[in-house]
Structures are given as structure tokens and as C-alpha cells.
Amino acid sequence: MTPAPLATAPLTARLRVPSGPLFFPVTAFGQDGSIDLDVYRAHVRRGVEAGAAAVFACCGTGEFHALTPEEFQDCVRAAVEETGGRVPVVAGAGYGTALAVRYARLAEAAGADGLLAMPPYLVVAAQEGLLRHYRELAAATALPVIVYQRDNAVLTPETVVELARTEGIIGLKDGTGDLDLMQRIVSAVRSEVPGDDFLYFNGLPTAEQTQLAYHGIGVTLYSSAVFCFAPEIALAFHRALTAGDRDTVHRLLDGFYRPLVELRALGRGYAVSLVKAAVRMRGLDVGEVRPPLHEPSEDHVKQLAEVIERGHALLEEDR
């Protein structure tokens, strides 16, 4: 039976205790480099049917940086239509404030349930500038905003407290891997904004590799790039982590996730291009990455196939 749409529930409630991994689909391109919406729809549909708890469309794995506004809106609309309200759709929004607002409004018009605010383009801004940027973005639409901190947009606990007090900002996704900073952020918000429903996400590439550590400081939500190409492995890890099955978690970390992370570290941009190669490997031709990213080498693709094969072998051991 198809579950009833939950689109009327607040996004925070829909994300707080996810039934499965958070799905960040890749964006499909045809042989001529243009968007292939039919393949993209199939990719999103397969993810939802496999058990994704949410679809984060046109974000980092979806090559937000490489999409025109028109392509972005087409993809977000397609994701909304394919989910049919069964799970929320969160769309990326980024660059400078004016462009971020434009993308936010395009996402709202396309039917998205929320926004993931990507770091501003290029500049390294002070905390007061970042705070103003995210507040203006939150005020631009009715969509709730999750702020993604990484690279040139790393926030202090004091700034995150102010974000948590800002209407329309519902969470923080961390891409720094600085657990000391995240612990101080969680503590500060808990102390200064008691009773708030502020959400925290582990947004590191291959987040499963670090999720045990993040879970220990209260960050229970995480993105899963693996879900794009091996949902059965991502789901097995998610179930084991939720159930406290450390044996299965450790077996998948040692035999699959760590080798995958080590392979990913061999090339710049592999957090995206390696994922797209794996999706193609599993039978869905989502095309290559757009420049300035590049495709993984033939040897690395071969190693990727071996890592995925080992991951499936580990699942067989549990049966």
C-alpha cells in the first residue's frame, strides 16, 4: 500500500526521526550534456521506492553549482512530482544573497518543502555578514531553511544560536567534521534556545563513516550519497545504527565504507563523480559530471566496482 502523503506536516517533524536515509540524488545529463529529466525522474522515483526519508534535490551531489536557474527549477519540480508528497523535497539555494533568494523562490514555485542553504560563493565573510545572508534568505520565502556550514561558511556557536532564533531557519548541516565545534554549537543552542526544535545534520561526504561520532553528540540525521547507488547497503547501515547493532555497523564500516572513503580521497571532486559512476554501474545512465568536475579514472572505477561488490557480500553474511 502506498503511504498517504504527509505534505501538510511541518518539515521539522518529518525530518526529526527519519524512516530511512536522506537521499541526495545526482542530476542526470544526456550525451549532449543537457538535463535528462526522464532519467532524473527515474532516479528520484527509485530512491523514494527504496525507502528514502527525504529527497534533497539539486544540492552538492546534484551539482547545484553547474545548473542554470531554469534547469534547477525543472529538476526540483520533477522531484516534487515524483515524490507525490510521500517524502519532503528540500532544494539547494546558494551563491550571493540575491541569487540565493532567486533560487529559493524558484524552488518555492516548483513546490519544494524546504531549502538547503549552500555556502555563499567565493567570499570569506564575517559572522555578521553570514547571519544577515541567511536571515535574508529565510525571509524571502515561506520555505524553512537548513543552513549548510562548510568551507568558507563556518559558524560560531553564538551565530548558530541567532540562526536558531530566526523565524524560518530550522537546522544546521555540518560539513566541517569539527566535532568540538559541533558539540559547542549543540550545547549553546540547547542552553540559549531551550525547547527549540532545531535540527542537526552530518553533511560530510560518505557521512556514514563518521556518523557514530556525530551520533554521540546528538547529531542523528545524516546525508547518504551511498543511497544513490546502493540503497540496500545504506538502509542496512541505517537500520543497524538505529537499532544499536554495533556489530553490523562496524562490519559495514570496516568492509565497505572505509574502503569507499579511501577511494574517494584519490581524486578531487570524487564525492560527486564517483557517485555518478556508481549509479551508472548499477544500470541507470545519469551521464557524466559537468566541468569543472571530471570523471574518475578507469582504474578507480574498477576499484569502485570491487568495493560495492564487497558491500553486497557483507549483506549476504547477515542472511
Chain centroid, CA 218 distance in Å: 18
Kindly give, in sequence order, each residue whose CB lies less than 8 Å from that of residue 231, ignoring residues fewer than 6 positions away.
21, 46, 47, 50, 51, 52
Cell (9 digits) for 129? 555578514
Selecting among 40, 103, 134, 173, the annotated active-site residue is: 173
The CA-atom distances, in angstroms, between 64 and each of 85, 112, 123, 199, 231 are 23, 15, 18, 23, 22
The CA-atom distances, in angstroms, between 283 and each of 69, 141, 193, 280 are 29, 38, 47, 5
Selecting among 148, 200, 222, 257, the annotated active-site residue is: 148
* Position 128, amino acid: E
Residue 68 and residue 84: Cα distance in Å, rounded? 24
The CA-atom distances, in angstroms, between 166 and each of 159, 203, 243, 295 are 11, 22, 34, 40
148 catalytically annotated: yes
Residue 240 and residue 237: Cα distance in Å, rounded? 5
CB 67 within 8 A of CB 34: no
The 8-class DSSP code of residue 35 comes to B
Cell (9 digits) for 38? 526522464
Question: Do the bridges between strand 199-202 and strand 54-57 make them parallel or antiparallel, or are there none, so unpaired?
Answer: unpaired
302 catalytically annotated: no
Omega before 10 within 30 of 0, i.e. cis: no
CB 286 within 8 A of CB 25: no
List strand residue ranges (DSSP E) for the chain, in order: 22-23, 54-57, 89-93, 114-117, 145-149, 169-174, 199-202, 221-224
Catalytic residues: 148, 173
